[in-house]
Amino acid sequence: MGSLPGTDIREAVRVVLGELPDLPHLPELPGRGPGADLIGRTAGLLIELPVELYAGRWRVAAHPGRDLLRTHDLRERDLDALMELADGYTGVVKVQAAGPWTLAASVELPIGGRVLRDHGAARDVCESLAEGLAVHVAEVSRRLPGASVLLQLDEPSLPAVLAGTVPTESGWQTLRAVPEAVVRDSVRSLVDAVGVPVVVHSCAPDVPVRLLREAGVTGVGLDVSLLTDLDPLGEALDAGLGLFAGAAPTVLPAGRRAPTSAQVADKVRDLWHKLGFPAARLPAQVVVTPACGLAGATAAYARDVLRACRDAGRRLAEV
């Protein structure tokens, strides 16, 4: 889904291009430290909202500093590696960033407390991120002029934001819920700003599929093992929404082997059958993925899982 283990970006890009030639992505390597993590990496894209590290957390800063410079430097190295190793690529390339509401639930205000507690500040983050992602997408397009960019927004906190269950710093209380209409409008504005197809991924339960479809996203990515109510997903798929089906575990369970492509394909096929759609429609609407990022996996397991997902997709395309 984006993140991989290790600290060598050139090797990570080689792995992605080798194992996922039909839909490569710009890898995230959080093992490199602050600025390479999902939140720091994305906060570094904000326009006119500098950030810094304070007590191990990212917060809005008064002015740009060395922490922000580090995030920019890491991103430049990543783009350089992608441009060099994917030179001449003409397919779809995916880039990832934290979604606006996960960012608002993670970054702190200068006075303390999450940005999410101040709905005006949260709105500013949403608008700034939309502008910053538009610049980032344009930069990727400039470096890979023959490719088409697909943007993935990682929103693990979105269900909690909507439910009002994001904890305060003390842990004794929760932040008030954000209305669905506010979330829907912010995502729609971001989709309009970036000008490329957007997929929203969340490996949390209760992904708001209907809301995201109404916001204009191209697809949703979720952990299929967490699905309990299939109706919202079925309605969205029936309306043409794409599905990034997280069907392979992100870490190897003790005493177990990596899943085979047949096992992963069966998991996706079973879900499709439960949804009641014809098998012939599956290959045009589904991408097979790990359930979430692979940063916590071993390098060998990450390769095995990427290969299993790729080959599972090919199995399903043969239907």
**Does the structure show a pLDDT above 90 at 254?**
no
* β-strands 219-223, 92-98 pairing: unpaired
Cα-Cα-Cα-Cα torsion 296, 4, 265, 229, nearest 10 degrees, comes to 60
What pLDDT is recorded for position 252?
81
| CATH code, 9-317 | 3.20.20.210
Tokens of 308: 């299993």
**pLDDT, position 182:** 97
Report the pLDDT value the prediction gives residue 1, as an integer from 0 to 100.
86
Quick check: 155 pLDDT over 70?
A: yes
Q: pLDDT by residue (tens digit) across 23-73?
A: 999 999 999 999 999 999 999 999 999 999 998 899 999 999 999 999 999
Residue-wise pLDDT tens digits, 118-151? 999 999 999 999 999 999 999 999 999 999 999 9
Half-sphere exposure of 153 (CA within 13 A, CB side): 30
**pLDDT reported for residue 170:** 76
Question: Where are the chain's structural domains?
Answer: 9-317
Q: Residue 318, Cβ neighbours under 10 Å: how many?
A: 7
Distance between CA 111 and CA 207 in Å, rounded?
Answer: 31
Residue 261: what pLDDT? 96
Residue 177 pLDDT exceeds 80: yes
Residue 83 pLDDT exceeds 70: yes
279-288 mean pLDDT? 95
| Mean pLDDT of the region 156-173 | 92
The pLDDT value given to residue 53: 95
Output the pLDDT for position 251.
Answer: 87
Q: How far is CA 199 from CA 94, 98, 216, in A?
A: 10, 12, 10
Q: How far apart are CA 264 and CA 305, in angstroms?
A: 9
Split at pLDDT 50, 70, 90, the class of 319 is low
